[in-house]
């Protein structure tokens, strides 16, 4: 130090400055480890959180959820569907190779007694396995259950790793496009009844996409991977999608530009008619078959009176490998009526600005070959279905309830049994038992009468049965209407009927 003097001191300062962030980081890690192992008193400190991509639901959120489920189930039943259930996990081989590039999102479980298992990714593949295993060739079914995806969650947008799907599917031989049109009608009914705001339903056909890829010069072995890239047009601008096609997927720039011309097209039955006359598309038998079916589909949609919300959109791809025909997706829009019948004008695909999408809330399509993949003899069962994106709908419904400060009832209690005196517990219990036995929702509490009345106002309980010494002597109950504060004496024997009248 004497020999080199200030140079050594300067080096020490530089060393301390450069090492400080590293030291701080290591200290933070040690403190975190200490918290996990236990504090100074030796108690284990738990990290209280839900796993990434999951959430808890409080009573108000569950009430909203139940309301949404009831609306959806009622619609499914109105269309003649019956319900089934399947295991939450399947043999790994059942799920492998059905989801294209999304297969990497499947949760694999550890070896369990010689069986390789995975958590179900959706409800469609288990349904196809169920049909093949039970030799069922005709069924209209709905299924509401949780599925699991090892995705990067965006929970504010209703994207999770564990979430519910609500599926409606029609399996069996029917006249062309009638089941497909009914699935779109169901989406229309559910979104209209839930009153989520303006929406549009995009429609396309896998055969049209494959025919388009063929006439644009996409090699056969790149169809599925290019389809997965096109499927990103609702999240990325065309230039980025094109860049991925050319730089990552190895497609020629000329082929990508031709695809770009087609996927910018939107319309209705008129667009299908025009594409049937298109010099390139008319060369593909696949594309022509798909376009003919889209024309037929729109004729049924007109009969179902829902064409105001449906658009034929060539950019819709849906990346799952099992789709074989018509595909569709419903999107909510933030402002204005979505441009569902006009052609996109003067813009690259994905650049229209008439309305802003807030995300997909339903999707589905035709998958005629999936059941045959499980059947030992390869027997096919034509299937078409739709899945309602329930978590995203929940997120929107919750936001709406918060925004308008809506009071949400979390119980079905019709009447609170209360008393002004503390020594009437047994009488309250007798009365609440009578009400339960008569099938009425009732509760009783002991705090001050004013507190009980405030609780009824806050929780939406419409009636209060007040007991006191005088009421017991007279054989009556003082019935109070919470909303109007009206009070009336009702004989004990007539109380149940009076509650029925007032809570219809």
pLDDT for 151 equals 80
Rounded Cα–Cα distance for residues 225 and 232 (Å):
11
Are 399 and 429 in a shared domain? no
CA 135 from centre of chain: 30
pLDDT of residue 96: 84
Sequence ranges of the binding site: 122-124, 149, 165, 169, 318, 322-323
> Helix, strand, or coil here: 376?
coil
Q: Which residue segment(s) compose the domain that 24 sits in?
A: 2-37
Same domain, yes or no: 57 and 173: yes
Query: Does one domain contain both 448 and 473?
Result: yes
C-alpha closest to that of 322 among 372, 367, 362, 287: 367
**Same domain assignment for residues 17 and 57:** no
pTM score:
0.80
Residue 98, in any domain of the structure:
yes
Give the count of domains, the chain: 4
Q: What is the pLDDT of residue 410?
A: 87
Q: Please tell me whether residue 48 adopts helix, strand or coil conformation.
A: coil
pLDDT of residue 497: 92
Instruction: Give the domain CATH number at 383.
Output: 3.30.930.10
Of 408, 433, 464, which closes a domain? 408
DSSP E strands, 374-414: 383-388
The answer to whether 184 and 302 have CB atoms below 8 angstroms apart is no
Is there a domain that residue 45 lies in?
A: no
CATH for 466: 3.40.50.800
Does 274 fall in a domain? Answer: yes
Beta strands in 217-315, from DSSP E residues, in sequence order: 266-267, 310-313
Q: Does 44 reside within a domain?
A: no
Boundary (domain end) residue, out of 383, 408, 433: 408
- 254 conformational bin, left if phi > 0, alpha if psi -120 to 50, beta if neither: alpha
Is residue 26 domain-shared with residue 72, that is, in the same domain? no
Strand partners, 331: 200, 360
| Helix, coil or strand: residue 301 | helix
Same domain, 320 and 208: yes
Whether 283 is covered by a domain: the verdict is: yes
Residue 397 contacts residue 190 (beta carbons within 8 Å)? no
The answer to whether 146 touches 385, Cβ cutoff 8 Å, is no
Looking at the fold, whether 190 and 204 belong to one and the same domain comes out as no
- Closest-CA residue to 325 (of 489, 206, 161): 206
Q: Are residues 347 and 480 in the same domain?
A: no
- 327 and 283 share one domain: yes
Q: How many helices (H) and strands (E) does the chain have?
A: 17, 16
The binding site for L-histidine consists of 122-124, 149, 165, 169, 318, 322-323
Buried b (16+ CB within 10 A) or exposed e, 340-372: bbeebeeebbbebeebebbbbbbbbbbbbbbbe
- Is residue 424, in this structure, part of any structural domain at all? yes
Give a yes or no: residue 43 inside a domain.
no
Same domain, 256 and 367: no
Given this model, what pLDDT does residue 227 score?
85
pLDDT at 337: 33
- Give me the pLDDT at residue 40, please: 58
Is 42 domain-assigned?
Answer: no
Q: pLDDT 10s digit of each residue in the chain, 504 long? A: 545 555 545 444 444 555 666 787 787 777 777 666 665 566 667 788 888 888 899 999 999 999 999 999 999 999 999 999 999 999 998 998 787 767 788 999 987 788 899 999 999 999 999 999 999 999 999 999 999 998 876 665 667 899 999 999 999 999 999 999 999 999 999 999 999 889 999 999 999 999 999 999 888 888 888 888 888 887 888 889 899 999 988 888 888 998 998 988 999 999 999 999 999 999 999 999 999 999 999 999 999 999 999 999 999 988 677 899 999 999 998 633 333 333 333 333 444 334 444 578 999 999 999 999 998 888 899 999 999 988 889 888 888 888 887 788 888 899 999 987 778 889 999 999 999 999 888 888 766 888 888 888 888 899 999 998 889 999 999 999 998 999 999 999 999 999 988 887
Angle ∠(223,227,232) on CA atoms, nearest 5:
160
> Which 3 state secondary structure label does DSSP give 167?
strand
Domain boundary among 315, 333, 351: 333
Task: Answer yes or no: do 27 and 133 share one domain.
Answer: no
Verify that 400 and 421 share a domain, yes or no.
Answer: no
């Amino acid at each position: 130090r004497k020999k080199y003097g200030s140079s050594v001191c300067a080096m020490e300062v530089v060393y301390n400055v450069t090492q400080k962030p590293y030291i701080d980081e290591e200290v933070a890690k040690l403190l975190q480890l200490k918290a996990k192992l236990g504090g100074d008193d030796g108690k284990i400190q738990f990290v209280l959180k839900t796993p990434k991509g999951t959430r808890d639901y409080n009573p108000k959120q569950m009430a909203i959820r139940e309301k949404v489920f009831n609306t959806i189930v009622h619609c499914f039943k109105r269309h003649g569907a019956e319900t089934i259930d399947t295991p939450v996990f399947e043999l790994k081989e059942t799920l492998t190779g059905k989801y294209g590039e999304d297969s990497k999102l499947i949760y694999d479980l550890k070896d369990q007694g010689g069986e390789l298992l995975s958590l179900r990714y959706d409800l469609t593949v288990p349904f196809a396995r169920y049909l093949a295993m039970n030799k069922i060739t005709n069924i209209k079914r709905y299924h509401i259950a949780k599925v699991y995806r090892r995705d990067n969650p965006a929970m504010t947008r209703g994207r999770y790793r564990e979430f519910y799907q609500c599926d409606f599917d029609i399996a069996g031989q029917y006249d062309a496009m009638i089941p497909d049109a009914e699935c779109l009608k169901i989406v229309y009914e559910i979104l209209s009844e839930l009153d989520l705001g303006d929406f549009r339903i995009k429609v396309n056909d896998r055969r049209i996409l494959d025919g388009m890829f063929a006439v644009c010069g996409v090699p056969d072995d790149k169809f599925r991977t290019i389809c997965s890239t096109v499927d990103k047009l609702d999240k990325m601008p065309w230039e980025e999608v094109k860049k991925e096609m050319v730089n990552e997927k190895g497609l020629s720039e000329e082929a990508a530009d031709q695809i770009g011309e087609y996927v910018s097209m939107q319309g209705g039955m008129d667009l299908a008619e025009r594409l049937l006359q298109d010099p390139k598309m008319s060369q593909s038998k696949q594309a022509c078959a798909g376009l003919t079916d889209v024309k037929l589909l729109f004729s049924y949609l007109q009969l179902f009176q829902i064409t105001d919300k449906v658009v034929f959109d060539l950019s819709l791809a849906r990346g799952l490998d099992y789709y074989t025909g018509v595909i569709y997706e419903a999107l909510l829009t933030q402002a204005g009526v979505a441009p569902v019948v006009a052609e996109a004008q003067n813009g690259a695909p994905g650049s229209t600005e008439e309305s802003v999408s807030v995300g997909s809330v339903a999707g589905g399509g035709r998958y005629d070959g999936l059941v045959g993949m499980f059947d030992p003899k390869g027997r096919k069962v034509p299937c078409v279905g739709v899945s309602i994106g329930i978590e995203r709908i929940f997120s929107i419904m919750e936001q709406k309830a918060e925004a308008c400060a809506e009071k949400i009832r979390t119980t079905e209690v019709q009447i609170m049994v209360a008393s002004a005196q503390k020594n009437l517990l047994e009488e309250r219990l007798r009365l609440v038992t009578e009400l339960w036995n008569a099938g009425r929702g009732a509760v009783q509490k002991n705090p001050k009468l004013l507190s009980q009345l405030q609780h009824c106002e806050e929780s939406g309980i419409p009636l209060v049965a007040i007991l006191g010494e005088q009421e017991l002597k007279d054989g009556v109950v003082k019935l109070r209407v919470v909303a109007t504060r009206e009070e009336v004496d009702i004989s004990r024997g007539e109380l149940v009927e009076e509650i029925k009248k007032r809570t219809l």
